[in-house]
Amino acid sequence: MLIELDNTIISAEIFKRKFVCDLTSCKGACCVEGDAGAPLTSEEVNQISGCLEHIKPYMRPEGIAAVESNGISYLDQENDPVTMLINGKECAFVFFDEHRTALCAIEAAYRAGAIDNLKPISCALYPIRVKQYRDFKALQFDEWHICKSACTCGNKLDVPVYKFLKAPIIRAFGQAYFNELELIAPEIETLEP
């Protein structure tokens, strides 16, 4: 089932599925695994480029080497910009904490007050993936085996995807948009799959 709101088409799974990131289990695998870097907007490419010197102190040497040699992004198979990878594996902006959990250097620089912009919106919105079409954007739930513990945690805590992602949804689409999601949710959550 699809729901139309403003210039978006939303999968009902965003209301029906439960999700809460469980970093103690997954160790931030979404920043390490996959077949491409994190999707970026052209504005984000410019922002990250402009702030790179303030982000570098939070990056690993191999991440710095990757962006200095190849740039902060490359074009994926669909010709869209994505974050640079280290040797075709983890995101160049990944660093690891003492528990070997992958964290974001861009977000760390933001939280330290070194830059004004948060990590890419595609990362913040995950497991929602946004696809831009000519006349609308499609918001879909992206099911990935590495997030099984997040689905389990979300089910245990009874937190729908859209509620877990309240802050990034507001960042991407605005408060009024999120308010509309909250109005729609009770109808969608009760529908049979």
Q: For residue 3, is pLDDT > 90?
A: no
* Peptide bond just before 186 cis, omega within 30 deg: no
CA–CA dist 121, 49 (Å, integer): 16
Pick the residue with more confidence: 170 or 2? 170
pLDDT in tens, 77-126: 889 999 999 988 899 999 999 999 999 999 999 999 999 888 899 999 99
CA dist list (Å): 154 to 158, 163, 170: 6, 10, 20
Burial class (CB in 10 A: 0-12, 13-18, 19+), 181: buried
In angstroms, how far is the first alpha carbon of the chain from the final one? 8
Per this entry, what is the length of the chain? Answer: 193
Helix (H) or strand (E) holding 157: helix 148-157
* Conformational region of residue 126, where left means phi above 0, alpha means psi within -120 to 50, and beta covers everything else: beta
Sheet holding 137-141, edge to edge: 2-5, 8-11, 137-141, 128-132
CA–CA dist 81, 8 (Å, integer): 21
Q: For residue 192, is pLDDT > 70?
A: no
Mean pLDDT rounded to a whole number for the chain: 92
* Residue 193 confidence (pLDDT): 56
Residues 184/9, Cβ–Cβ less than 8 Å: no
State the pTM of this model. Answer: 0.88
CA–CA dist 85, 20 (Å, integer): 26
* Residue 144 confidence (pLDDT): 87
CA dist list (Å): 71 to 30, 32, 79, 124: 21, 18, 16, 22
Average pLDDT, integer, range 54-82: 94
CA–CA dist 33, 117 (Å, integer): 24
Residues 66/58, Cβ–Cβ less than 8 Å: no
* Residue 36 confidence (pLDDT): 87
